[in-house]
């Protein structure tokens, strides 16, 4: 993202001018809360849609979930609507790897049939018969009873049911015309009752259900049975209409919405602006885990996270004769919808066919990473894209990061199947705490064969006396009872405390809850909870881990990152403090120093700017930045002669930066060299024509020159 710095020039110049200078990829954006839009009814939102999308909502009326419909109606443009519609059908495609979508084709076919054959005063899809036909398709059996046997017109459709959907092996759906008029409506034995079917009720006691049943049985035994229950065989055991038929109808209506994972719809509103259209067709579910911990060495908080796509497509490289996939990781940290930190990383993997079949396919890949973060409440957004088949997965989590000092906290708890204790502490890497490295299972699923451990600990312990960490591991209600408590004394003067608890292989298959409490002098001051599951299945696969490490010698980078976050939050004092820490730790990290200098400009600390940029004065790669920043600082200090020298040096290195050229023009004006100023502004305008302020400035200078020429001409006369 290109971020913009605006310099307000003082009125004493020739005229008041506002010029915008782009110097860096970093700046501060004021945090402003968006006004809540007034709630608009669903009916009004549909009314505002283009006709094409109104018709689409009609088409999917019986199969779209409430979540999907709500999201669709929040979309603001047709591009997003088209992408959403493709995703909608993709979720229902029974054979995702083929070009055909059998579900979509069959649904459209049923919708058209319903409109053609069941039309009344309403479109066919809106009728009860149309509804059942669209959901269940053509009946396996159908019988018509139109004005026969002294009954109102009715129809009975028979279907073979799918037990996996909670349906009986065979059932009926009955339609009738209430009072013999209007369109056919669904008959519900419990709500409508058998009497509603009788056109000729002479000699029948309508208050006696058995009297009604006997009349129906006399004229049409099949109808009599269906009048009591839509489930064949059930009516043999009852003498009253059954409510099971009502439950059956309810299940039928819910069939199209079952097993639809609506997370893609919930998240679409967030990732639609981040993901390329080609990728947005291929959303993949994921498992995600995160925690935060303070680094005792730097005093900075770090977020550690792991994201595992449920599946990974692989490509094949003829050049390398290997299989591969390529991930791009994008991470954003948001505060009130303002991005205060963002970064990207690329991960490319190549492997043999043997590795593909033995490791990649059965285990999958989890991408682990970490980054420093300032205290506060945020929204963490993680986007992982695979260039192969253009797949992506996405997660959004609300997180809370505690202050780096004075507030003790608990790390984890993190259930794990593997951990390692290093004899050195030289690198930053995800899920490394002190000298402990933890292998994370993002889903929290383990098997009986795993040697399960629990990692936990506490940080910010400087003020803790008589500290104690207590851990309770127990099964949830409904599982075999298991309860175990662990207690650990925290050594005096500890900054942090880490502990691996070996739970072993004696645990039952169950869902476990973990409760960790930090005590000070016997009083609990912090509580964290977690959970994990032990599956009855043997050999639960744990993913391969992909991550990148950073040498602790480069820890200055993390101070600069923290400083930039504070700057985005508008906390300039804290930002300056951490920029200074990063600068003092490493004066050769020019990218960080440039950010530091830009922030100092915002604070009008021009002497400090001149001081810090001297650290890369002799770096040939950054000579232009050095002279342009120096010229700008000197200009603001009103040292125009010196500023001019630096700006001319910058322009000599690169003569197409119109911001530097504009500043040259203003410097010439301050030195009363109007002709040179005019040349500079015109040169700037030739590079970028869209500068209205510069155009106006040129006009005013030319007017002044005209006045000066007139005055000079009068003097000559």
pLDDT value for 325: 87
pLDDT value for 34: 37
Q: Which residues contact 410 (CB under 8 A, 6 or more apart)?
A: 456, 457, 458, 469, 516, 518, 526, 527, 528
pLDDT, tens only, 304-349: 999 999 988 888 888 889 999 899 999 999 998 889 999 999 998 8
Interhelix angle 263-271/78-91, rounded to 10 degrees, is 150
Give the burial string for 571-596 (b: 16+ CB within 10 Å, else e). Answer: beebbbebbbbbbebbeebbebbbbb
pLDDT value for 43: 87
pLDDT value for 26: 28
Peptide bond just before 413 cis, omega within 30 deg: yes
DSSP 523-535: EEEEEEEEEEEEE
CA dist 124 and 144 (Å) reads 18
**What Cα–Cα distance (Å) separates residue 333 from each residue in 236, 291, 338, 389, 644?**
64, 14, 8, 27, 41
pLDDT value for 422: 81
CA dist 80 and 84 (Å) reads 6
Exposure on the CB side of residue 661, measured as CA atoms within 13 A? 20
**What Cα–Cα distance (Å) separates residue 352 from each residue in 162, 356, 535, 542, 661?**
43, 6, 31, 20, 55
CA dist 339 and 347 (Å) reads 23
Cβ atoms of residues 580 and 589 within 8 Å: no
Q: Which residues contact 264 (CB under 8 A, 6 or more apart)?
A: 87, 91, 283
C-alpha closest to that of 708 among 659, 672, 665, 656: 672
Low-confidence ranges of the chain (pLDDT < 50): 1-38, 236
C-alpha closest to that of 364 among 349, 380, 381, 343: 349
* Burial (CB count within 10 angstroms: exposed 0-12, middle 13-18, buried 19+), residue 559: buried
Q: What domains appear along the chain, each with residue ranges and CATH number? A: 284-552 (no CATH), 554-716 (1.25.40.10)
Cβ atoms of residues 176 and 153 within 8 Å: yes
**What Cα–Cα distance (Å) separates residue 457 from each residue in 51, 164, 272, 486, 488?**
58, 45, 38, 13, 10
pLDDT value for 280: 55
pLDDT value for 174: 95
DSSP, collapsed to helix, strand or coil, labels residue 409 as strand
Q: Which residues contact 681 (CB under 8 A, 6 or more apart)?
A: 661, 662, 665, 694, 697, 698, 701
DSSP, collapsed to helix, strand or coil, labels residue 148 as coil
DSSP, collapsed to helix, strand or coil, labels residue 547 as coil
pLDDT value for 56: 96
DSSP, collapsed to helix, strand or coil, labels residue 476 as coil
Q: Which residues contact 260 (CB under 8 A, 6 or more apart)?
A: 65, 68, 91, 92
Strand ranges (DSSP E) for 54-169?
Answer: 141-145, 154-160
DSSP, collapsed to helix, strand or coil, labels residue 71 as helix
pLDDT value for 277: 53
pLDDT value for 271: 67
pLDDT value for 4: 25
CA dist 523 and 462 (Å) reads 17
pTM for the model stands at 0.69
């Amino acid at each position: 993202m290109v971020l913009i710095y605006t310099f307000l020039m003082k009125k004493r110049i020739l005229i008041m001018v506002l010029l915008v200078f782009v110097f860096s990829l970093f700046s501060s954006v004021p945090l402003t809360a968006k006004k809540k839009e007034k709630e608009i009814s669903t009916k009004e939102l549909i009314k505002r849609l283009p006709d094409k999308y109104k018709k689409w909502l009609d088409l999917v009326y019986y199969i779209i979930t409430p979540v999907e419909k709500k999201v669709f109606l929040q979309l603001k443009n047709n591009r997003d609507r088209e992408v959403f519609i493709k995703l909608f059908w993709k979720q229902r495609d029974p054979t995702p790897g083929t070009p055909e979508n059998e579900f979509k084709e069959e649904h459209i076919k049923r919708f058209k049939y319903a409109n053609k054959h069941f039309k009344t005063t309403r479109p066919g899809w809106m009728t009860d018969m149309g509804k059942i036909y669209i959901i269940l398709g053509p009946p396996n059996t159908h019988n018509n009873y139109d004005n026969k046997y002294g009954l109102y017109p009715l129809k009975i459709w028979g279907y073979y049911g799918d037990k996996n959907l909670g349906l009986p092996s065979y059932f009926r759906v009955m339609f009738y015309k209430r009072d013999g008029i209007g369109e056919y409506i669904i008959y519900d034995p419990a709500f409508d009752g058998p009497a509603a079917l009788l056109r000729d009720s002479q000699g029948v006691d309508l208050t006696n259900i058995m009297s009604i049943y006997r009349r129906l049985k006399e004229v049409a035994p099949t109808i009599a049975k269906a009048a009591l229950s839509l489930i064949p065989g059930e009516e043999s055991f009852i003498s009253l209409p059954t409510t099971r038929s009502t439950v059956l109808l309810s299940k039928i209506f819910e069939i199209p919405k079952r097993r639809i994972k609506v997370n893609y719809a919930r998240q679409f509103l967030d990732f639609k602006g981040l993901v390329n259209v080609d990728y947005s067709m291929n959303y993949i579910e994921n498992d995600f885990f995160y925690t935060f911990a303070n680094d005792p060495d730097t005093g900075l908080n770090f977020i550690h996270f792991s994201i595992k796509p449920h599946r990974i497509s692989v490509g094949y490289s003829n050049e390398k004769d290997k299989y591969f996939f390529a991930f791009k990781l994008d991470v954003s940290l948001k505060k009130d919808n303002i991005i205060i930190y963002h970064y990207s990383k690329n991960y490319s993997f190549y492997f043999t066919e043997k590795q593909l079949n033995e490791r990649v396919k059965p285990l999958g890949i989890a991408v682990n990473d970490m980054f420093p973060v300032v205290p506060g409440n945020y929204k963490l957004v993680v986007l992982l894209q695979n260039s192969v088949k253009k797949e992506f997965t996405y997660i959004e989590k609300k997180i809370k990061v505690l202050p780096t000092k004075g507030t003790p906290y608990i790390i984890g708890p993190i259930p794990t199947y593997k951990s390692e204790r290093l004899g050195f502490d030289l690198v930053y890497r995800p899920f490394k705490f002190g000298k402990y490295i933890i292998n994370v299972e993002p889903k929290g699923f383990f098997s009986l064969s795993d040697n399960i451990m629990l990692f936990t600990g506490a940080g910010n312990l400087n003020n803790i006396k008589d500290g104690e960490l207590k851990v309770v591991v127990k099964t949830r209600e409904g599982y075999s009872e298991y309860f175990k408590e662990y207690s650990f004394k925290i050594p005096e003067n500890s900054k942090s405390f880490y502990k691996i608890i070996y739970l072993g292989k004696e645990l039952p298959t169950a869902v476990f809850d973990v409760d960790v409490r930090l005590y000070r002098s016997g009083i609990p001051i912090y509580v964290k909870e977690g959970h994990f599951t032990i599956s009855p299945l043997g050999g639960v696969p744990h993913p391969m881990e992909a991550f990148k490490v950073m040498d602790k010698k480069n820890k200055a980078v993390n101070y600069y990152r923290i400083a930039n976050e504070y700057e985005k939050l508008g906390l300039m004092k804290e930002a300056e403090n951490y920029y200074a820490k990063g600068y003092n730790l490493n004066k050769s990290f020019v990218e960080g120093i440039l950010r530091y200098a830009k922030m100092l400009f915002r604070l009008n600390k021009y002497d400090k700017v001149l001081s810090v940029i001297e650290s890369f004065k002799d770096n040939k790669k950054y000579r232009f930045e050095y002279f342009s920043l120096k010229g700008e600082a000197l200009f603001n200090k009103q040292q125009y002669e010196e500023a001019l020298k630096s700006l001319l040096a910058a322009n000599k290195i690169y003569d197409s930066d119109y911001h530097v050229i504009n500043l040259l023009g203003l410097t010439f004006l301050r030195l009363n060299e109007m002709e040179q100023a005019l040349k500079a502004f015109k040169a700037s305008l030739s590079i970028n024509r869209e500068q209205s302020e510069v155009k106006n400035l040129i006009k005013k200078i030319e007017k002044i020159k005209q006045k000066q020429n007139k005055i000079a001409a009068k003097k000559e006369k």
